[in-house]
Chains A and B, each alone.
Chain A
C-alpha cells in the first residue's frame, strides 16, 4: 500500500537551533515529492517539488533533500516565524489519474 509517514509529529526548537524533519514514503515509481507549509487556520502553501534521489531545493532557511526512500526538510537557524505544520505529499495512481497522498505533518514550534 502506498504510504507517506512523517516524523516527528511535533518538534519544539529554540530560535537558531537547526534540525531536520523526515518524510518516508512507500510508493512504486515516485513521480515527485512535494513539501508544503501550513499555518493555523490556513491552507497548505507549496514550498518545493523534488523528483529524483540526490536532488536538493532551498528557500531561505529551508532545504529539502530526497533519497530513494525518504525526504528531509532541513531547517537552519530557524526563527519564530518558521513555526508551522510542514506536510509532505506524493502523487499516486488513483482510478486512472493521480492524487496526492499527504503525510500527517510535523508541527514545528520555534521558541524565541
Chain B
C-alpha cells in the first residue's frame, strides 16, 4: 500500500459544485499538506496542518477549505468549483525533521468544466 493515498485519482466536475479530495497517510507523521500543480507555475501550497488541531492557510487558500479528521486524514474541499481550479492536486506528509523531505501522494487530477 502507498504511504500517502489520495482519492479520487481523476475527477471532472461542473462549475459551482462542491467537491472533496481525500488524503490518508500511513507514515505516522503529524504534518500534512495540500499543494496544487499547474504547468509553468510549479507546486503551490494551499493549506497545511501540523497536528489534528492545527490548520493553516498556505499561499493560495482562497476558494478552498480543509478538514483534519485524524492524524492520518486530511481532506481538501472546493466550496464552489470554478474552471481556474482545474489542476493536479497533491497531498504530502512530513515528520518535521528537515532531513526526511516530504512524502507525496499520487495526486488527483481535477477538471472543472
Residues of chain A having any CB pair with chain B under 8 Å: 31-32, 34, 36, 41-46, 49, 51, 87, 89, 91, 94-95, 97, 99-100, 102-105
Question: Which of these, B40, B50, B57, B106, contacts A42 with CB under 8 Å?
Answer: B106
Interface residues on B, range: 20 to 34
17 interchain pairs, CB-CB under 8 A: A31-B98, A32-B99, A36-B101, A41-B106, A43-B106, A43-B107, A49-B99, A49-B100, A51-B98, A87-B43, A89-B43, A94-B58, A95-B57, A97-B50, A99-B45, A103-B42, A105-B42
Chain A residues whose C-beta falls within 8 Å of the C-beta of B56 in the assembled complex: 95, 97
Q: A36-B101, A94-B58, A102-B43 are in contact. List 18 more A-B contacts (CB 8 A).
A: A32-B98, A32-B99, A42-B106, A43-B107, A44-B90, A45-B104, A49-B99, A87-B42, A89-B43, A97-B48, A97-B56, A99-B45, A99-B48, A99-B58, A100-B43, A104-B40, A104-B41, A105-B42
Query: Contact: B42 with A104, CB < 8 Å?
Result: yes
Query: Contact: B98 with A42, CB < 8 Å?
Result: no
Chain A residues whose C-beta falls within 8 Å of the C-beta of B92 in the assembled complex: 43
Chain A residues whose C-beta falls within 8 Å of the C-beta of B77 in the assembled complex: none
A99 to B48, CA, bound (A): 9
Query: Which of A32, A87, A99 has the most chain B CB within a 10 Å cutoff?
Result: A99
Chain A residues whose C-beta falls within 8 Å of the C-beta of B106 in the assembled complex: 41-43
Chain B residues whose C-beta falls within 8 Å of the C-beta of A99 in the assembled complex: 45, 48, 58-59
User: Is there a chain A Cβ closer than 8 Å to B4's Cβ?
Assistant: yes
Q: How far is the CB of A57 from chain B (nearest CB, A)?
A: 11
Query: Contact: A43 with B4, CB < 8 Å?
Result: yes
A102 to B42, CA, bound (A): 7
Query: Contact: A46 with B107, CB < 8 Å?
Result: no
User: Is there a chain A Cβ closer than 8 Å to B103's Cβ?
Assistant: yes
Question: Which of these, A31, A49, A51, contacts B101 with CB under 8 Å?
Answer: A49
Query: Which of A34, A46, A100, A104 has the most chain B CB within a 10 Å cutoff?
Result: A100
Chain B residues whose C-beta falls within 8 Å of the C-beta of A34 in the assembled complex: 101-102
Among residues 79 to 113 in chain B, which have CB atoms less than 8 Å away from a CB atom of chain A?
Answer: 90, 92, 98-107, 109
